[in-house]
Chain A
């Protein structure tokens, strides 16, 4: 749930999503849902000469289960806040 919230704060930022088929796509994060499915706008496939398959695609929906990494813009992630939130969630879990 925490990561879902992090993604929600990153909407309208440019991210790069690396998929489990070695395709890397950068685009503007439009929305994200509970499965961490991602919608990207103004997408660009990295290494476009090798992957011309998506030339005519400008926005896309990526299934959360096939995402390997998401590269985030560091200046828009408050790591201190994230650390605190992670500790809080871990504390809540042990109390239960």
Chain B
């Protein structure tokens, strides 16, 4: 079964249907892949400036909105200076 159990208490990166990227600690989930993140931050990507991190706090994301949940390798994530990353935002989902 492709379950989210292995991601509990881990730092994860969520990609949402509208292209937003949210990082946080996964504290809970359910059958419909609704998830709760603690200490979450949105990462805003743009070509003009480096990545901006906006603190969101405790966040519940509806399963319908989720595209992907990835486990963050903290060593790699901390080694990257987000301010130097310039990238197009991820495209929204198109059916």
Q: Which residues of A contact B (CB under 8 A)?
A: 19-23, 25, 30-33, 37-39, 43, 50-63, 66
Which A residues are in CB contact (< 8 Å) with B4? 61
A6 → chain B closest CB, angstroms = 15
28 example contacts (A-B, Cβ-Cβ < 8 A) are as follows A19-B68, A20-B93, A20-B95, A21-B90, A21-B92, A21-B93, A22-B91, A23-B91, A25-B68, A31-B1, A33-B1, A33-B3, A37-B33, A38-B2, A43-B70, A50-B87, A51-B87, A51-B90, A52-B85, A53-B13, A53-B87, A57-B13, A57-B72, A58-B71, A60-B69, A61-B68, A61-B70, A63-B68
Contact residue among B2, B17, B73 (Cβ-Cβ distance under 8 Å from A39):
B2
Which A residues are in CB contact (< 8 Å) with B17? 21, 66
- Whether A63 and B70, one on each chain, are in contact in the complex, defined by CB atoms closer than 8 angstroms, is no
Which A residues are in CB contact (< 8 Å) with B36? none
Known: A31-B2, A33-B1, A61-B69. A53 touches B76 (CB 8 A): no
Which A residues are in CB contact (< 8 Å) with B2? 30-33, 37-39, 61
Additional 11 contacts, C-beta under 8 A, given A31-B2, A61-B68, A66-B17: A19-B67, A19-B68, A21-B93, A30-B2, A32-B2, A33-B2, A38-B2, A50-B87, A58-B73, A61-B7, A61-B69
